[in-house]
Structure 1
């Protein structure tokens, strides 16, 4: 059997210090992986993979295309201007689209490089990426070495998948944790002396409550949310994404030289959800005799059932000016009425951010109790 991860997949040694610290504490070592990115346009037939010169020109006719050489030139120019912008005061209301327009980047560059890359990272449509908060976008790209050709962080996967650190964490907690599975919370009542959780099986009483879930889920559980809770939690939107684990190579670029770790498939319009295929054989370093394993996010056509192993549905936070403003208001609700909120949605939406927000809650509770 093969352990294939379909949710959390990669982390790196530069921007995941807290997550790596957690893995180290649990005695879990990462496995080095290759991070590469390809774009395939089924309409025009264009495809490339930026990992090496060979993969960049996997489609040999691109050597003779001025538009493709222009794309490469614009990538270099974008990286330079992005770094320059980060040295200046960024307008908190600026979007990626406004930056592209101000510096007159071509539609070809936008649709075949920067928007697909952002859409693949945040599981968003190209249209949503146009509205993406510029400060968040540029800082993320800079921190992850995506504005450099060299000096990029080393990426890793967790051997055996994310279930391994979940198992290790539960084993570490042991009897100190009273874990109740399949026990959905129907309602959370806050009162001066504590918090009451209402379940199908009855009630449970606690001093405080930590909502380690999606913001929309937390809001739905509150019996009497405050105006601030309605606004802050309600302004962070979520997008449902379909995920298919399969072995159909037709979801990868036509030329095997262009196969990358992450493979973006362009649609005709900007409204379609991001369609990305993760080549798990590359990402997880599977042996040469392993079957092909692909994880496709939001397939834009039915995946042949003969190749499908399993289907999933995940939700990812949407990042836009509205959610950006909500993030800045977190302290209005965190710790109020014995309630604490943690989740990756408070930062960039990744596992490091989940750990970071959890540590924020731990420190907040300790400070509130005078410890």
Structure 2
């Protein structure tokens, strides 16, 4: 039985701790005063009525979340069906549509008489067919980007700017420009696995009933007494066949609540799982190896502003075009994703108010309608970061050090769980649902 330190209490850290606690002693360290990471459910009250609203992790599906679904089953958490639809609104031209069904596609009835819109529909079908063929043949040009693919196959700028780039930007919280630089192979594989190249036969999407935080309690139950919040780890060193965590804590004990004493202490473990962001992990490693420095620095994160509000001006002008995810186009292709989640649709909220969660558009939201503000960080995917992912074995499991995080795969909740499952497998710890795959 090993003593294992887990750094971070997002989905990767908590899943690592849950699985490893089956056979080992685990201790979780979290720098914030709360657990959960992007599992960020908030309680609000509007006109005397309480609501529970997710502001970070929201949805999952029955096709591409096998590890997360197995985890929910194991800890006894159910799921609630939801709708996943996507709309685009061009702030310059007024064009808008929602691709969920025929009526929402032509919610703006003038689209019926726009040749450019009918061409968009035809190009969507051609893009899907071509990408599915490429996926099935598994033939990709080395280094090919999504933007190059669109140009090489003569897709129109209208299609690129009004469909495929905004959809990708909404998924990965990136700019249109960054989406054009996405590695095409990574993009196609993700879209194929998530059913996004199909008009029909798409996955069923779900939310966690009563908010995503509902899974935190059952998940933490086996090790809840060994979770340390406000843990200020200043560095990690590996020596003498052990891992040393160095802490700098501030003690406030005079009547004016001013800092009166600083002290440093060290705790020693057999192994450490760095279940924080790649840049955070690298910053903690005092004695980082050349491989750790190279790989972790190749997988950066971007900062995204997130606002919970009730300003429906961030949604399409026509309510028939309102979707689960709503993208606002502007002329600034370098601007981070401007997407608004309609939480009434996603969580099945019944209210006269429409609760929205918007990324990167604080300046466009009526301040009187803002409820809460957050900052979340998301991995940036590029050819460099994807090459780094493929070299994970150079650093993960080496020198008593393990790395878990969604950045090792596609950047989503399932990927955080998957990375934790991969770490725990080294210690012969598994999800019970996958017991048959333990070889």
Q: Structure 2-normalised TM-score?
A: 0.81
| 1:190-216 residue CA offsets vs partner (Å, 9 max, x unmatched) | 113201101124211100110001000
Compared CA separation, residues 192 and 317, structure 1 to 2 (3 A): same
Deviation of 1:167 after TM superposition, in Å, equals 1.8
Q: How many residues align?
A: 365
After the TM superposition, which parts of structure 1 deviate over 2 Å for at least 4 consecutive aligned residues?
171-175, 364-367
| 1:228-270 residue CA offsets vs partner (Å, 9 max, x unmatched) | 1111000001110000000011010001010000000011121
Match of 1:298 among 352, 360, 367: 360
Aligned partner of 1:89 in structure 2 is 139
Note if 1:193 corresponds to 2:253. no
Note if 1:184 corresponds to 2:247. no
Aligned partner of 2:40 in structure 1 is none
Note if 1:171 corresponds to 2:221. yes
Aligned partner of 2:307 in structure 1 is 244
Residues 16-165 of structure 1: pairs in structure 2 closer than 5 A: 16-86=65-135, 87-165=137-215
Aligned partner of 1:222 in structure 2 is 285
Compared CA separation, residues 186 and 114, structure 1 to 2 (3 A): same
Q: Structure 1-normalised TM-score?
A: 0.96
Compared CA separation, residues 92 and 334, structure 1 to 2 (3 A): farther
Deviation of 1:89 after TM superposition, in Å, equals 2.1
Residues 315-326 of structure 1: pairs in structure 2 closer than 5 A: 315-326=377-388
Distance in 1 separating the partners of 2:61 and 2:191: 13
Residues 252-263 of structure 1: pairs in structure 2 closer than 5 A: 252-263=315-326
Distance in 2 separating the partners of 1:98 and 1:339: 39
Q: Secondary structure at the match of 1:189?
A: strand
Distance in 2 separating the partners of 1:366 and 1:290: 51
| 1:21-57 residue CA offsets vs partner (Å, 9 max, x unmatched) | 1111111110000000000001000000001111101
Q: Is the 8 A contact 1:335 1:365 kept in 2?
A: no
Q: Is the 8 A contact 1:275 1:300 kept in 2?
A: no
Aligned partner of 1:311 in structure 2 is 373
Residues 259-274 of structure 1: pairs in structure 2 closer than 5 A: 259-274=322-337
Deviation of 1:366 after TM superposition, in Å, equals 4.0
User: Which protein has the bigger strand share?
Assistant: 2
- RMSD (Å) for aligned C-alpha atoms: 1.4
Q: Is the 8 A contact 1:281 1:293 kept in 2?
A: yes
Structure 2 unaligned residues grouped into runs of 5+: 1-49, 250-264, 430-438
Q: Is the 8 A contact 1:92 1:134 kept in 2?
A: no
Distance in 2 separating the partners of 1:92 and 1:349: 22
Match of 2:341 among 278, 281, 288: 278
Q: Is the 8 A contact 1:92 1:133 kept in 2?
A: no
